[in-house]
Structure 1
Amino acid sequence: MAALGIPDAALKNLRAGLAGEAITPDDPGYEEAREIFNAMIEKRPAVIVQCRSSDDAAQTIRFARHLDREIAVRCGGHSVAGMALTDGGVVIDLRRMNGVTVDRDGLVARVGGGATIGDLDRATQPFHLVTTGGRASTIGLGGFVLGGGSGWIEREFGLACDNLMEVQLVTAEGRFVRASETENPELFWALHGGGGNFGVATWLTLRLHAIPAFSIALLLFAPEAGADALYAYREFIGRAPDEIGGGLIHLTAPDEEFVPRHMAGKLTCAVLVTYIGTENEIREVAAPMLGLGHQGELITQLPYADLQCMLDDPPGYRNYCSAEYVVGMPDELVQRFSARAADMIVPSRSRHALFPMGGQVARGDDRYPVPWRRAPWAVHPFGLWARPEDDVRGKQWVRDVRADAAPWSSGAVHLNFIGREGQERVVAGLGEENYQRLVAVKTEYDPDNVFHLNHNIKPA
C-alpha cells in the first residue's frame, strides 16, 4: 500500500538503497517511531527514515525533494513546537547514528548526529572528560550544539557551540560538506547558533575538558522562602568562581529519600549548586547558602553524567516553554519571579527555572550569532503536565513569567528554549546584524528553504 500518497515504486527504490529502515504508517513500530517529547503534537509523517549513515540521509533528502515532500530532521525530538515531525512529509530520523569516539589524549570527541547528551556523557565519563551538555540526558546533541547550547558547566567551559570544532553536513542537494575554522569557515560560523537551517549534521567534533571531580549541593526551601533564597543566591553567584554553576528552580518535590515527607509532591524552591571539585570543596564554597534554613538537602560527589539524568522526563507529557534573558536581577524581579511560582501546575513536572550565566559564557567569542551570551540571567519557565484540560493554564503561566521579566529583558533569547514565537523572536535570538549574514549563508546552502522546520532563517 502506498504511504500517504507516496508511490510504491519510489518507496521500494528508497528502501533498496538504505542501510537503515524506512517506516510507513502501515509498518509495525510506526507509532513508536513518531513519538516525540511533546505529547501535545500530533503529526503523521508519510515516511520515517531511520538512518544508519550519512549516505542514508543524503538519499532521503533526494527522495523527499523528488516527491516534493516536506522534510523534518529528528534526533532527541525535544522541540517544544514539534519541529521533528511533519504531516505527510518525510522524517530524517538520526537516532541510530549515535556513536561517540573519544580521543582522550587529544581531548576531542567525534559524535554522531543522532547522539543524545547522555550518549556523549556516558562515553566521556570513564576518562573524566566533559564538555558542556544540556540539562537533560535525552536531548539531541546536534540541535542542542548548533543552536548554541546552554548547560550546567557553561560558566567554566563556555557554551556547547564554543566547543564545536567541526561539523559534517548533508546539504539540501544531498552533497557532503565539512565545516571548520579552516574549511567553509562562513558556514562554520553560521552553525554556532543558526541551528538546522543549513543541512543535516551527521557528525560533530567537540572539544573535551578534564575534570578531577564533580559535586552538587541541592537545597530545598519552602516556597514562601523562595524570595529570600533567591536574594541570597543572587549575592552568592555574583561572587562565585567559574567552577560554580547551577540554578534556582521552583518545582514539585519528588518522592526521594533526601526530600522531607511533608515536601514530597508539593511546590518547593530548589537551589542547585554545581561544582567542578570534591564534596569537601563544595561544602566550603557553598557555605553562604547552607545556613539559610533549607529543609532538605543532597550534598554529594557524583559523576557529571549522573547529574545530567536528574531532570530527565519521559515522553508523554504535554509541554510548553519559553525564556527571557535579563540584564540583571533587581529586587522587583526577584519578587515577581518568586510570586509567579504559585501559578504553576502542581503536582506536575513543570519547572520555574532561573539560570545564572556569566563566566566563560560572557567571555566567549563575540563573533558567533549568540547575542544572549552577555545576559547575566536566564528566566526559563518550562511547563510539563499530563492533562489536556491544563493546556490553557500551563501556557498562560509561561506567558505571564515572560511578561514579569519583560522590563529587564535584554531582547536576545536562546532559541533552543522557545517554540514558535514569530520571526521577530528568531531575529532577536541571532542578532539583527548576524541575521543578515546568516541569510547569505542560508541562500548559498539551502536557497529553496528545504530545511524550514526550525527557527527559520529565510533565504534571500
Structure 2
Amino acid sequence: MDAGTLETMRTTLRGPVIGPRDTEYDRTRQVYNAMIDRHPAAFVPCADAADVMAAVNFIRDSGLELAVRGGGHSGPGLCLVDEGVTIDLSPMTGVRVDPVARTAEVGGGCHLGDLDHATHAFGLATPTGIISMTGVGGLTLGGGHGYLTRKYGLTADNLLSADVVLADGSFVTANETEHPDLFWALRGGGGNFGIVTSFTYRLHPVDTVGVAITVWPVDRTHDVLTWYREFLPRAPEDVYGFFAILAIPPGPPFPEELHGRKMCGVVWCHTGDLDHFEEALTSVREPGPPAFHFTSPMPYPALQSMLDRVIPSGYQWYWRGDFFDSIPDAAIEVHQKYGENLPTPLSLMHLYPVDAAAHRPGPDDTAWSYRDAVWSGVFAGVDPDPANAGAIRQWCVDYWEETHPYSMGGSYVNFMGAGEGQERVRATYRDHYDRLARIKRAYDPDNLFHANQNIRPAAMA
C-alpha cells in the first residue's frame, strides 16, 4: 500500500487506522503465536458493523489483501497478511445475556473469557474451548469443542444466529430461516463467507463443575490410553475428559516433585451432581495408581482459564490435528514414543472428546463434517525461544505423520497448520466441500475472504 492510499483510508474510515510508522504498530501485529512475524500494511480496528462494512468496501475497491482478526489465536496466523489490511474486531467485546430466554449476543471481538464472565453471573454457559484467551469468532466458525461438548454439543451447534458483513459490503443476519445456506456454512466452514460481527448463542445451566486432573508417568501411556479409549466413550455425558501428554508445569496444584516430569493423563470436567463426582471417576485407578489425582469443585470460568498461565500468549507454536474414531494399539505405541521424547517442556498432545451430544445432529445438519469422530487430536510444539522453532515444528510434523494413518483423514479446521494444502482442506470437509464451494460462490464469488483455510468458490456452470 502506498502512502497516498493509507492516508485516504485514514480520512475515509471512522476511527484509527494503524500503519507501520505508528508507535502501536508492532504491538498490534503481535498475535498469540510468536512464530508468526508478518507485516500488514495497516490495521483497521472496528467498533461496530458499520465500521466493518466501510472497511470491507475500501479494501475490496482498493484491490488490497484482506484478513480478519477476532481473538488473534490462530495457530497459522491467518489474521495477518504481509502488505495486506487486517480488519481488527478486538474493540467489539460487548456481551448481552438474556437469562430468561437463555441466550447471549456476543461481539465478534470477544474472547471466551468475556463470554464466560457475562454468562456465569446468571449460572449459564455455552460450549466453547479450553483457553479463555481464544476468540469466539474463529472458534465458533470452525465448529468449536471443549469441556461442555459431551453434554451440550459443539459451539456451532449452539449458535442461533449470526450478523455477517459480506464481501460486497452488505449486512445480513443468518439463521435457520434467513440465509439458511449461509448459516449452515458458518457452522464449521471457517471464516470463508464473511465477517461475523455478532453471534447469538443458546445457553445452558452451568455454574460450579467438578474438576479433576489425573496423571501417570509417561511410560504408562500404553496402559492409560488402553483404559481411556474404552472408558470415555461409555461414560455418562456429564463426564468429560481430554487425554494429554505433557511435562508437568511448575506450580499448584502439582507437588514440587512432579514439576518438569513427562506425564500422560486426563483433565476432567463433571457437569452433573457434584455429590456423584468422585463416584464417576472411581475407575481412574484401573490403569494403575496415578502419580497424582486432584479433584475440586470449581466455578466454570475458573476451569476455562486454568490453562492460561501454562501456555500464555507470545510463545512459539506449531500445531497440526486429526480426527480419530478409534485409538488402536499401534497408535498408542506412537503416542508413547513421542510422549517420551517431548522436544520442550511446553510441547504437548491432546485428544479431545467430540462424541455424545456432538453426535446427535445429523451428518449433514452443519458444515462440520465429522459427526462420526470420537476424538479431535492436536499435536503442538511449544516453546518461548525462537531458536527452538525448528525442533518443535519437526517433532510435531513427525508425530502427526506417524499417527495420521490411524486417523479419519481430516482435521478440526482450527487445528490445521500453515501450508497444509488444498487437499487437506478438502479432507477436512469431506462430502460437504462441494456444497460449501457453491455457497462461497454465492456470497464471496471473488474469494475476498481467502486468508483462512480456504474454500474456493465453485466454478460458474
TM-score normalised by the chain length of structure 1: 0.95
Return the alpha-carbon distance in structure 1 between the equivalents of residues 123 and 424 of structure 2: 38
Distance 1:200 1:425 in 2: 23
For residues 373 and 338 of structure 1, the distance between their equivalents in structure 2, rounded to whole angstroms, comes to 27
CA distance in 2 between partners of 1:37 and 1:163 (Å): 26
Report if aligned partners of 1:230, 1:334 keep a CA contact under 8 Å in 2.
yes
What is the deviation of 1:426? Answer: 0.7
* Matching residue of 1:364: 361
Q: What one-letter code is carried by the residue in structure 2 that aligns with 1:113?
A: G
Q: Which residue of 1 aligns with 2:300?
A: 304
3-state SS of paired residue (1:301): strand
Matches within 5 A, 1:94-113: 94-113=89-108
Q: Is 1:272 aligned to residue 267 of structure 2?
A: yes
The answer (yes or no) to whether the contact 2:20–2:42 under 8 Å persists in 1 is: yes
Moved over 4 A (4+): none
CA contact (8 A) 1:371 1:412 kept: no
Q: Deviations over 1:75-99 (max 9, x none)?
A: 1112121111111111100011011
Q: What secondary structure is seen at the aligned counterpart in 1 of 2:263?
A: strand
Distance of aligned partners of 1:99 and 1:212 in 2 relative to their CA distance in 1, 3 Å threshold: closer
Change (3 A) 1:279 1:221: farther
Partners of 1:261 and 1:293 in 2: CA distance = 19
Deviation at residue 4 of structure 1 after TM alignment? 4.9
Q: Are 1:78 and 2:73 an aligned pair?
A: yes
Equivalent of 1:10, from 8, 11, 16? 8
CA distance in 1, matches of 2:35, 2:344: 19
8 Å contact 2:66–2:449 — kept in the other structure? yes
Give the alignment partner of residue 326 of structure 1, picking from 319, 324, 340: 324
Aligned counterparts of 1:275 and 1:89: Cα–Cα separation in 2 = 44
**Greater alpha carbon shift after TM alignment, 327-336 vs 142-151:** 327-336
**8 A contact 2:344–2:382 mirrored in 1:** no
DSSP 3-state at the match of 1:121? helix
Distance 1:382 1:128 in 2: 33
Show the 5 A alignment for 1:29-40: 29-40=24-35
Q: Verify: 1:178 aligned to 2:176, yes or no.
A: no
Paired residue secondary structure (1:406): helix
Cα distance in 2 for residues equivalent to 1:378 and 1:65 = 36
Task: Call closer, same or farther: CA 1:330–1:140 in 2, change over 3 Å.
Answer: same
Farther-moved stretch of structure 1 (51-60 vs 237-246):
237-246
What is the CA-CA distance between 1:68 and the residue it aligns to?
1.3
Aligned mate of 1:346, from 338, 344, 348: 344
SS at match of 1:271: strand
Instruction: State the alpha-carbon separation in 2 of the partners of residues 338 and 178 from structure 1.
Output: 48
- The answer to whether the 8 Å contact 1:258/1:297 transfers is no
Match of 1:68 in 2: 63
- Superposed CA deviations along residues 86-140 of structure 1, whole A, max 9, x for unmatched, are 1111110001101111111101110001111111111111111111101111111
State the Cα deviation string for residues 299-349 of structure 1 (Å, max 9, x = none): 0111111111122232221111111212211222222212211222232x2
What's the TM-score, normalizing by structure 2? 0.94
> Displacement of 1:425 after TM fit?
1.1
C-alpha displacement of 1:180: 0.5
**CA contact 1:236–1:289 (8 Å) conserved in 2:** no
CA deviation string 1:34-75 (max 9, x = no partner): 110111111111111111011111111112122211011001
Query: Aligned-pair RMSD on alpha carbons?
Result: 1.6
The match for 2:392 is: 394
Question: What amino acid maps onto 2:334 in structure 1?
Answer: R
Letter in 1 for 2:424: R
How far, CA to CA, are the matches of 1:119 and 1:6 in structure 2?
Answer: 38
Q: Could you say which residue in structure 1 is the equivalent of 2:240?
A: 245
CA deviation after TM superposition for structure 1 residue 8, in Å: 5.4
Letter in structure 1 aligned against 2:209 = F
2:213 is matched with which residue: 218, 225, 247? 218
Shift of 1:28: 2.2
User: Unaligned stretches of 5+ in structure 1?
Assistant: none
* 1:391/1:59 CA distance change after superposition, 3 Å: same
The residue correspondences of 1:281-296 to structure 2 (distance < 5 A) are: 281-290=276-285, 292-296=288-292
Query: How far did 1:360 drift?
Result: 0.9
Contact 1:273 1:286 in 2 (8 A): no
Q: 1:212 and 1:38, CA in 2 relative to 1: closer, same or farther beyond 3 A?
A: closer
Alignment equivalent of 1:380, drawn from 378, 381, 385: 378
Moved more, 147-156 or 375-384: 375-384
**Count of residues in correspondence between the two structures:** 453
SS of aligned partner of 1:202: strand
Structure 2 residue runs without a partner (length 5+): none
Q: What's the counterpart of residue 235 of structure 1? A: 230
Deviations 1:215-252 (A, max 9, x none): 11101211112222222222321320111112111112
In structure 2, relative to structure 1, the CA distance for the partners of 1:8 and 1:167 (3 Å cut) is closer
Q: Distance in 2 between matches of 1:335 and 1:235?
A: 17
Residue 356 of structure 1, CA deviation: 2.5
- Contact kept, 8 Å, 1:4 with 1:88, in 2: the verdict is no
Q: Which amino acid aligns with 1:428?
A: A
Aligned pairs for 1:95-134 (under 5 A) are 95-134=90-129
Decide whether aligned partners of structure 1 residues 257 and 39 sit closer, same or farther in structure 2, where only a CA change above 3 A counts. closer
- Aligned residue for 2:256, secondary structure, equals coil
Amino acid at match of 2:322: E
1:258, distance to aligned residue in structure 2 (A): 2.7
Calculate percent identity across the aligned residue pairs: 37
